Chain A
Amino acid sequence: MTNELIAITVLWGFIFIYAVMATMDFGAGFWSMIYIHRDKANATKIANRYLSPTWEVTNVFIVAIVVALFSFFPGAAFLLGTVLLVPGSIILILLAVRSAFLVFAHVAKEYEKALTYISGITGIIIPALLISVLPITHGEFIDIRKGVPTLDLERFFTSPHAYSFMGFAILSTLFLSSLLLADYSLEAGDGEAYRLYRRNAWITGPLSLLMTGGMMLTMRYEAKWLYDKMMEYWPWLIGSVAMFAAAGIALSLPSSRHPHVRGRPRLAVIAIVIQYFLASYAYGKAHLPYMVYPDVTIESAFTHPDTFRALFASYIVGFLILFPGFVYFWRLFMHDKRYVRPK
């Protein structure tokens, strides 16, 4: 593997982890808002119990993405920084409101409802804006005027391609988070919340798959180069759809450990994560070598080789230091019955 490929793989890995963690994070915030008025099923409590300790860690990943981007590919920093100024600023503002009000809602119990609404609604818009960075990198909305790159906002906001990405982001946020919360509810032994979240997953899952169809369709017209190259990776795409089906089956099987409920959500979560992995691998691979089509490639944007080596060494050391911390964190919040299932 070349240095460029290693770097883009690391970056892609961060984006993938963030995509999974963030959809769960934003989705959990949304569901905790939806059920706040009639929380017989403890659905809000369960969502919050997942959300409280994790949002801070999730947020670090978005920072890690930005840092990995400009440190591995500083040549992309100029173009991306310039064209993303407006969408990026809007994301930042929403993210600030969302995170702050999430924390405030836990502290100021009397105003919890209003504050939860603010963080829930802003939280569901953010994924749509975040994902819109992808169609922007397909190049069709960027003009170079007098040597200055600009984002054509009008073309962007009238593009079906952009909207299909946004719709996909919202639906898969809802889908992935319902699935995860279903698993978390079952772990907590809460049958009623489990049934609620399982039902939500049944509804949003097929819808999000439908949206991916929409994405491919619009891509065919608006980013033909990418569409053609993605089709070369068709086995990955087929595999991805197969994992989706596998998740559906896992949700229908009788549970081994819980006799009175249907479904094995842990299996379904794993299948869906693999589904997203396969699909985004195909997408990422097809996107190469372009970071921003057609102006910036991973070679043209790459950092200085000595800097890359130093960064890479720091990644290894950082991973070794952090790994035990992540394991400890996981054990305390995802695995410890005293936390997941309080008396």
Chain B
Amino acid sequence: MDDVIIARSLFGTTMAFHIIFATLGVGIPIMILLAELLYQKTKDYDYAVMAKRWTKGLAVLLGVAIPSGTIAGVQLSLLWPGFMEVIGKVMSLPFQIEIYAFFIEALFMSIYVYAADRISPLMRIVSVFFVALGASASAILITNVHAFEGTPAGFRIENGEIVDVDPWAAFFNPSFFVTAGHVVLSAYMTGAFVLASIAACQLLRAAQNEQVRRFHQKALKLSLTVGGVFSLLTAINGHESAQLLHQYQPEKLAAAEGLFETQSHAPLAIGGFTDAKTQSVKWAIEIPWALSFLAGNRFDTVVKGLNDFPKEWWPPLFVHTLFNAMVGIGVLLLFLSAAALIWQKWRKRPAFPRWLLYSFVAAGPLAVIGIECGWIFACTGRQPWVIYRMMKTEEAVTQTGNLAVLFALFVSIYILLSIAVVLVLRYYFRRHPVADELRKPPNEGTLPV
């Protein structure tokens, strides 16, 4: 039993680490692609420098994304051999297709970085496009496995045997499109807001020449626009995700909302802590009828409560907080982008006031926190199942001991890599200030990276 907890903590830590770099690896290529396109359209050299610097940062981040992803992939087999046995028989297609996506991303990332000065602008755009495509496709495919865990399809387990296998039915399981869409949209949003944070940070620093300020202003505007668009799409799609829970994993939605009694006109509880003893959410703000409406678009939708399920099937109740944090951040960032838009359009001011810049600085870290909360909610909220109503987590876990030592080892590696990656990024961008790169004559034609 103890080993199950350590295995879960170890795998969760690995994923929580990987997802930071993976999300940026999905989000930033889109921004680079947009900067490249803007450069070709406007011939404004600032955008070429932007693409170049973002690419440099991305290359460093991928230096951690790829090995941590390799850890994630192999650890899945090492820690959850029982789970992978089912996945291998039923749901291996997405893993397999993901390999092709990895290849596309890796090949074109090298081409874009190391051959930039030898290929035509068109081929350069094609290369970033493939990098972005490969990253998004790999996110979609791996998320499909996660979707399958929540809404399994395409097989049955009969007397411990896997029967009636249909790999394509498993691939197109009921929550595939919505879940994959949510992950990709939130990754684009997060990539954009992280870059917005950096630009806002730079604008807050005193004493800079006009050229550098204009550069950061352009970067901020571009990333806030992209972030705003995708936070709207994320929220709309998140609503659909919640409706899927209502349909396919009702006890997860009940735990997310701290709802104990099945009812129509169910209230939405915001904030507070779920208390199993009093069967209520303490200190929450309740919006009457809202949950029913969110779950089924009608106030009389009947939402199932936790009491309808055996207690050993209940997800941990703290997922309510994680869910609230994710949704709260989504709404906050939506307002923030709207504020930026309004400020620019209606006040007709070229620059943002400092207080607004400070809140933009917070946007990137908040988005990353949103990603973390969303994932931990989704995976922890599935407990005790590793495959919903099919396989329990404790049936899937490895039988080998020694997990505590390994846990300590992996955590130290993640700490080491986190420190190193921050130092390397700081070092590089201190050594290569924007001012130097902007000063270079734009007549070199192509940009050396």
Interfacial residues, chain A to chain B (CB-CB below 8 A)? 52-54, 56-57, 59-60, 62-64, 66-75, 77-86, 88-89, 92-93, 95-104, 107-108, 110-111, 148-150, 303-304, 306-307, 310-311, 314-315, 318, 321-322, 325-326, 328-329, 332-333, 336, 338-339
* A57/B84 contact (C-beta < 8 A), A67-B95, A86-B400 known: no
Nearest B residue (CB) for A54? B110
Between A and B, 9 residue pairs with Cβ closer than 8 Å are: A64-B99, A70-B92, A72-B88, A81-B77, A100-B417, A304-B167, A307-B90, A333-B110, A338-B118
Q: Which residues of A contact B66 (CB under 8 A)?
A: 56, 59, 99
Q: Which residues of B contact A98 (CB under 8 A)?
A: 67
Contact partner, B420, options A62, A80, A83, A101, Cβ 8 Å: A101
Q: Which residues of B contact A81 (CB under 8 A)?
A: 77-81, 84, 398
Contact partner, B67, options A53, A72, A85, A100, Cβ 8 Å: A100
Bound-state CA distance A332–B107 (Å) is 11
* A108/B100 contact (C-beta < 8 A), A70-B88, A100-B63, A307-B89 known: no
Contact of A57 with B111 in the complex, beta carbons under 8 Å: no
Bound-state CA distance A87–B131 (Å) is 33
Q: Which residues of A contact B85 (CB under 8 A)?
A: 70, 74-75, 77-78
Contact of B95 with A71 in the complex, beta carbons under 8 Å: yes
Q: Which of B62, B77, B95, B114 has the most CB of A within 10 A?
A: B77
Q: Which residues of B contact A322 (CB under 8 A)?
A: 100, 103-104, 107
Contact partner, A63, options B68, B99, B113, Cβ 8 Å: B99
Contact of B59 with A57 in the complex, beta carbons under 8 Å: no
Contact of A303 with B410 in the complex, beta carbons under 8 Å: no
Nearest B residue (CB) for A67? B95
Within the complex, the shortest CB–CB distance from B22 to chain A, in Å, comes to: 14
Q: Which residues of A contact B77 (CB under 8 A)?
A: 66, 69-70, 77, 80-81
Contact of B70 with A103 in the complex, beta carbons under 8 Å: no
Within the complex, the shortest CB–CB distance from B148 to chain A, in Å, comes to: 13
Q: Is the C-beta of B168 less than 8 angstroms from some C-beta in chain A?
A: yes
Contact partner, A332, options B92, B115, B399, Cβ 8 Å: B115
Contact partner, B87, options A74, A150, A333, Cβ 8 Å: A74
User: C-beta contact mask, B114-127 vs A, less than 8 Å → 1, else 0?
Assistant: 11001100000000
Q: Which residues of A contact B63 (CB under 8 A)?
A: 99-100, 102-104
Q: Report the stretch among B28-36, B320-328, B421-429, B434-442 that lies at the interface.
A: B421-429
Nearest B residue (CB) for A313? B93
Contact of B100 with A310 in the complex, beta carbons under 8 Å: no
* A85/B110 contact (C-beta < 8 A), A74-B87, A96-B417, A99-B66 known: no
> 9 shortest A-B CB distances, which residue pairs?
A74-B88, A103-B63, A71-B92, A81-B81, A53-B110, A96-B67, A56-B106, A318-B100, A304-B165
Q: Which residues of A contact B268 (CB under 8 A)?
A: none
Bound-state CA distance A93–B93 (Å) is 27
Contact partner, A303, options B92, B106, B110, Cβ 8 Å: B92
Given A56-B109, A96-B413, output 18 extra A-B contacts at Cβ < 8 Å. A56-B110, A78-B84, A85-B79, A92-B70, A96-B68, A99-B66, A99-B70, A100-B420, A101-B420, A148-B399, A303-B89, A307-B90, A322-B104, A322-B107, A332-B114, A336-B115, A338-B118, A339-B118
Contact of A306 with B166 in the complex, beta carbons under 8 Å: yes
Q: Which residues of B contact A149 (CB under 8 A)?
A: 399
Q: Which of B69, B79, B99, B119 has the most CB of A within 10 A?
A: B99
Nearest B residue (CB) for A93? B413
Q: Is the C-beta of B375 less than 8 angstroms from some C-beta in chain A?
A: no
Q: Is the C-beta of B82 less than 8 angstroms from some C-beta in chain A?
A: yes
Nearest B residue (CB) for A315? B96
Q: Is the C-beta of B378 less than 8 angstroms from some C-beta in chain A?
A: no
Q: Which residues of A contact B409 (CB under 8 A)?
A: 89, 93
Q: Is the C-beta of B64 less than 8 angstroms from some C-beta in chain A?
A: yes
* A332/B410 contact (C-beta < 8 A), A74-B87, A103-B60, A307-B90 known: no
* A325/B110 contact (C-beta < 8 A), A93-B410, A314-B96 known: no
Nearest B residue (CB) for A75? B85
Q: Is the C-beta of B287 less than 8 angstroms from some C-beta in chain A?
A: no
Q: Is the C-beta of B331 less than 8 angstroms from some C-beta in chain A?
A: no
Bound-state CA distance A81–B7 (Å) is 13
Q: Is the C-beta of B162 less than 8 angstroms from some C-beta in chain A?
A: yes
Bound-state CA distance A336–B428 (Å) is 29
Contact of A66 with B424 in the complex, beta carbons under 8 Å: no
Nearest B residue (CB) for A149? B399
Q: Is the C-beta of B73 less than 8 angstroms from some C-beta in chain A?
A: yes
Q: Which of B74, B104, B406 has the most CB of A within 10 A?
A: B74
Q: Is the C-beta of B20 less than 8 angstroms from some C-beta in chain A?
A: no
Contact of A70 with B99 in the complex, beta carbons under 8 Å: no
Contact partner, A100, options B64, B69, B99, B106, Cβ 8 Å: B64
Within the complex, the shortest CB–CB distance from A300 to chain B, in Å, comes to: 12
Contact of B62 with A306 in the complex, beta carbons under 8 Å: no
**B386-431: which residues lie under 8 A (CB-CB) from chain A?**
398-400, 402, 406, 409-410, 413, 416-417, 420-421, 423-424, 427-428
* A88/B56 contact (C-beta < 8 A), A93-B409, A306-B165, A310-B93 known: no
Nearest B residue (CB) for A83? B400
Q: Is the C-beta of B351 less than 8 angstroms from some C-beta in chain A?
A: no
Bound-state CA distance A53–B56 (Å) is 14
Q: Is the C-beta of B97 less than 8 angstroms from some C-beta in chain A?
A: yes
Bound-state CA distance A11–B1 (Å) is 35
Contact of A96 with B428 in the complex, beta carbons under 8 Å: no
Bound-state CA distance A322–B424 (Å) is 33
Q: Is the C-beta of B71 less than 8 angstroms from some C-beta in chain A?
A: yes
Nearest B residue (CB) for A309? B167
Q: Is the C-beta of B264 less than 8 angstroms from some C-beta in chain A?
A: no
Contact of B110 with A107 in the complex, beta carbons under 8 Å: no
Bound-state CA distance A77–B75 (Å) is 12
